[in-house]
């Protein structure tokens, strides 16, 4: 069967590409890529490789998922080397398995080349540990684009757990108020990690209560920081205690 490569492009910095990703990009004839992929990746590609932007951002989808699936199948049928280049890693909030199902159904053989997920790379790039035995024993990663689902999954506070919220900046106020309503501590640290691993990276640190008390303009302005991760938990303050 013809192979189609679903490749993780990493969290932003081109240095986070894996060796496998670099090698297949050098061979690719057709690349369908996401919105957040660092376009410096294309310097690795053959000069005449066809590059197709199929990225989806909030309220701005260049292609619907069904259209992306159809494009993958169409180009895979050409017999050329097709790469689906996805931000982070294919199976973490990337709809990668939906594409796998479509390709399998059409008779193709998907190959997964994992990438470095922004869920881990971005906090680490700001020296924020996901797990440190002084502070916590676990972390959970969840999307923040559907506040009803968020409400169902995050049901209570545990002092030894961090929460990493992806795609949640547009719902920041609702997320914070939801947590406060479940008796999360008012002084629990929260960091907004914007454009992590890139030259435009920035970090804003606050607390749940201080964020909740902000005015409407603050929450409107904060949307400009996307893509961003909301990191909630005590390890936000870990760098204050090196000694």
User: What is the CATH number for 52?
Assistant: 3.40.1010.10
How confident is the model at residue 239, as a pLDDT? 81
Cβ(156)–Cβ(185) below 8 Å:
no
**Pair (88, 141) in one structural domain:** no
190 and 127 part of one domain: yes
Same domain assignment for residues 108 and 125: no
pLDDT recorded at residue 131: 97
Identify the pLDDT of residue 63.
Answer: 83
Cβ atoms of residues 161 and 138 within 8 Å: yes
Q: Are 138 and 72 members of one domain? A: no
Together in a domain, 107 and 136: no
180 and 221 inside one domain: yes
Nearest CA-CA partner of 174 in 149, 195, 156, 196? 149
HEC secondary structure over 91-156: CCCCCHHHHHHHHHHCCCEEEEECCCCHHHHHHHHCCCCCCCCCCCCEEEEEECCCHHHHHHHCCC
Q: Please check whether residues 135 and 231 belong to one and the same domain.
A: yes
Last residue of a domain, one of 85, 116, 147: 116
Q: Is the CB of residue 118 less than 8 Å from the CB of residue 94?
A: no
23: domain range?
3-116
pLDDT given for residue 89 in this prediction: 97
Place of tokens 């005015």: 215
Q: What is the pLDDT of residue 1?
A: 56
Distances (CA, A) of 62 to 20, 33, 90, 95: 28, 11, 19, 15
Name the domain boundary from 71, 90, 116: 116
In the chain, the number of structural domains is 2
88, 116, 144: which is the final residue of a domain? Answer: 116
CATH number of the domain that residue 183 is part of: 3.30.950.10
Same domain for 130 and 36: no
179 and 153 assigned to the same domain: yes
Supply the pLDDT for residue 59.
61
* Tokens linked to 209: 């209560």
Do 9 and 106 fall into the same domain? yes
- Do 112 and 131 belong together in one domain? no
Beta bridge partners of 116: none
Are 149 and 215 found together in one domain? yes
Per-residue confidence (pLDDT) for residue 28, from 0 to 100: 97
Give the pLDDT of the chain (243 residues) as one tens digit per residue: 589 999 999 999 999 999 999 999 999 999 999 999 999 999 999 999 999 999 876 665 568 999 999 999 999 999 999 999 999 999 999 899 999 999 999 999 999 999 999 999 999 999 999 999 999 999 999 999 999 999 999 999 999 999 999 999 999 999 999 999 999 999 999 999 999 999 999 999 999 999 999 999 999 999 999 999 999 999 999 888 765
By 3-state DSSP, what share of the chain in percent is helix, strand and coil, each rounded to 5? 35, 25, 40
């Amino acid at each position: 069967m013809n192979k189609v490569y679903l490749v993780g492009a990493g969290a932003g910095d081109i240095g986070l590409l894996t060796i496998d990703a670099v090698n297949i990009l050098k061979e690719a004839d057709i690349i369908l890529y996401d919105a957040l992929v660092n376009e410096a990746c294309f310097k690795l590609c053959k000069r005449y490789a066809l590059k197709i932007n199929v990225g989806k951002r909030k309220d701005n989808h260049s292609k619907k998922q069904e259209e992306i699936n159809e494009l993958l199948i169409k180009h895979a049928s050409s017999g050329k080397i097709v790469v689906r280049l996805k931000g982070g890693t294919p199976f973490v909030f990337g709809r990668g398995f939906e594409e796998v199902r479509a390709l399998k159904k059409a008779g193709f053989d998907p190959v997964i080349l994992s990438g470095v997920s922004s869920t881990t790379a971005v906090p680490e790039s700001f020296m924020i540990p996901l797990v440190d035995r002084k502070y916590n024993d676990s972390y959970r990663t969840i999307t923040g684009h559907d506040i009803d689902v968020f409400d169902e999954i995050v049901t209570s506070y545990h002092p030894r757990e961090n929460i990493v919220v992806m795609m949640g900046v547009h719902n920041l106020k609702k997320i914070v108020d939801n947590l406060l309503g479940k008796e999360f501590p008012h002084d629990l640290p929260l960091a907004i990690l914007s454009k992590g691993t890139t030259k435009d990276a920035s970090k804003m640190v606050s607390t749940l209560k201080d964020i909740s008390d902000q005015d409407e303009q603050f929450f409107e302005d904060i949307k400009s920081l996307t893509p961003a991760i909301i990191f909630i938990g005590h390890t936000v303050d870990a760098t204050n205690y090196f000694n």
